[in-house]
Amino acid sequence: MIYKRFLVLLKNTNYSRVTKRNITFTEESERQSNLFRLEKVRQKESVGRIEKIEVQYAGPPNETTLIMNKNISTPYDCAKHLGEMLVNRSAVALVNGETLWHMHRPLVDSCKLELLHYKMAQPSLVNKAFWRTCSFLLGAVAVNSFKDQVKVCLHSFPSPNVRSGSFVYDVQLSLKDWKPEKNELKTLSIEFIKFCQQNHQIECLEVSEDYAQLIFKNNPHKSKQIPDIAANNNGKVPLFKAGLHVDISRGPMITNTNHLGRITVTNVIKLETDIPGDPIYRFQGVALPHSIILNHFAYGLIEERARKLNTGRIPAINQDLSIDYGSFVKPQVVV
């Protein structure tokens, strides 16, 4: 039934003609997010008979056991049962003490659950998820902020590293030698802030390789990366969506865009790569969670550092992408 609905949608929007015209990027994002939404609905309906699971929650205000729905309930739903404070502050969930779990990803079995936030004693995993989300959202901003005559094509972003001082997205732009002025960077920052203030939930979904190819058919870089990613992840491609923007990432990410507090897009630097076509630019930025308040002087120091070129992995033609796009969630040991 869903497949039929999908066909109807294809008919109505008439993509064959659209591709002949030069599609603008909002149309492209709309198409991608529609496909994402349809697949999400299909997966939800294919759950069938609802089974119950026991979720043992450990943490404040007290330890509880919740009876939830298998493959439907998410850690976010558990947080809603436990209180508003946990709903607002939880960034990612930790399942069975070892697997990081996206807050909006359905739980598949009975488990122990912890909800992590930014001010824990050991928040390194949360910081990483936060940094990854920032990169992902920077991609969304890059796609949405340019005028129509500039062709924007997202490439990828390296594995998040907070110590490097900035989060990164590598984007192909049809601009020869663009050096952004202060005002342009300011505009990008404002676009970023405006995007985050729309309080988009960050949704996640695992789709098959073919479906991912369909979603990213207009992006040559992503379509090249997809087989590699799927091979490393049991034939599935993990996708994330915020607003209309859909992207591939290993995850997990934080719950909502309103977790971001201070945001700056600090620099855009042209990279030396062997990728054919238009030049690749590295977008860099810094951000802090909403719950962390920092004085402007200290934030200025961080900003100043983030203007320098981030030395993370620079994209090349034949590259092993398993570093950042490997399995969906890998257990990471907290030291």
Partner 1 sequence: MNQADVSKLVSQLRIKVNPRLRRFSNPNGPAGRLDKLRKTVTGLIKHERIELNYPRADEARMYAERLISDAIRYGDCHRTTMEMADFWIIEKQLIHKLFKVLVPRFQDCNTSYTRLYKVPSPYPIIYKREDCYRKAVLELRGNPYPSLLPDKQYNKNIIHNILLEEAKKEYRMQKYAEVVANTEEKGKCQTDSPDEKLETSSDISSKPESNKDEHTT
Shortest reach from residue 192's CB to partner 1, in Å? 17
The residue with tokens 């043992």 is 56
57, 130, 216, 283: which one contacts partner 1 (CB under 8 A)?
130
For residue 238, the cross-strand partners are: 206
Q: How far is the CB of 85 from partner 1 (least distance, A)?
A: 12
76: CB partners within 8 A, 6+ apart: 87, 90, 103, 104, 255
Cβ 312 to partner 1 shortest distance, Å: 14
Is position 136 an interface residue for partner 1 (rule: CB under 8 A)? no
Spatial contact of 311 and 164, defined as CB atoms under 8 Å apart: yes
Q: CB-wise, 13 or 127, nearer to partner 1? A: 127
The answer to the question of residue 123 lying near partner 1 (CB under 8 A) is yes
CA-based nearest residue to 115, from 314, 6, 289, 254:
254
Residue range at the interface with partner 1 (CB under 8 A); choices 10-18, 73-81, 124-132, 317-325: 124-132
Residues 275-294 that bind partner 1 (CB under 8 A): 286, 288-289, 292, 294
Q: Determine the Cα–Cα distance for residues 54 and 112; give it in Å rounded to an integer.
A: 9
Give the C-alpha distances (Å, rounded to integers) separating 93 from 58, 113, 160.
11, 7, 18
Q: Which of 106, 165, 238, 312 binds partner 1 (CB under 8 A)?
A: 165
Tell me whether residue 35 or residue 288 sits nearer to partner 1 (CB atom): 288
How far is the C-alpha of 103 from the C-alpha of 277, rounded, in Å? 38
Q: Is the dihedral of CA 155, 207, 36, 7 positive or negative?
A: positive
Query: Edge-to-edge strand order for the sheet containing 152-156?
Result: 152-156, 167-173, 280-289, 260-270
Residue 44 CB partners (closer than 8 Å, separation 6+): 72
Residues 300-329 that bind partner 1 (CB under 8 A): 301-302, 304-305
The one among 127, 187, 201, 223 contacting partner 1 by CB under 8 A: 127
Q: Which is nearer to partner 1, 121 or 317 (CB)?
A: 121
**Rounded Cα distance, 204 and 118, in Å:** 21
Residue 59 in the binding site for partner 1 (CB under 8 A): no
Q: How far is the CB of 276 from partner 1 (least distance, A)?
A: 35
124 binding partner 1? (CB under 8 A): yes
CB of 122 to partner 1, least distance (A): 6
Interatomic CA distance for residues 57 and 200, integer angstroms: 26
Looking at residue 266, its amino acid is: T
Helix (H) or strand (E) holding 2: helix 2-13
Give me the sign of the Cα torsion angle 182, 187, 188, 189. positive
Q: Is 163 in the site for partner 1 (CB under 8 A)?
A: yes
Q: Which of 66, 162, 190, 271 binds partner 1 (CB under 8 A)?
A: 162
Q: How many residues bind partner 1 (CB under 8 A)?
A: 22
User: Does 150 engage in binding with partner 1 (CB under 8 A)?
Assistant: no
Among 121, 148, 176, 183, binds partner 1 (CB under 8 A): 121
- Comparison of 230 and 288: residue with beta carbon closer to partner 1: 288
- Member of 26, 122, 197, 198 binding partner 1 (CB under 8 A): 122
- In the complex, what is the shortest distance from the CB of residue 93 to partner 1, in angstroms, rounded to a whole number? 19
Give residues 101-120 in contact with partner 1 (rule: CB under 8 A): 118-119
By three-state DSSP, how is residue 187 classified?
A: helix
Q: List residues binding partner 1 (CB under 8 A).
A: 118-119, 121-124, 127, 130, 162-165, 286, 288-289, 292, 294, 298, 301-302, 304-305
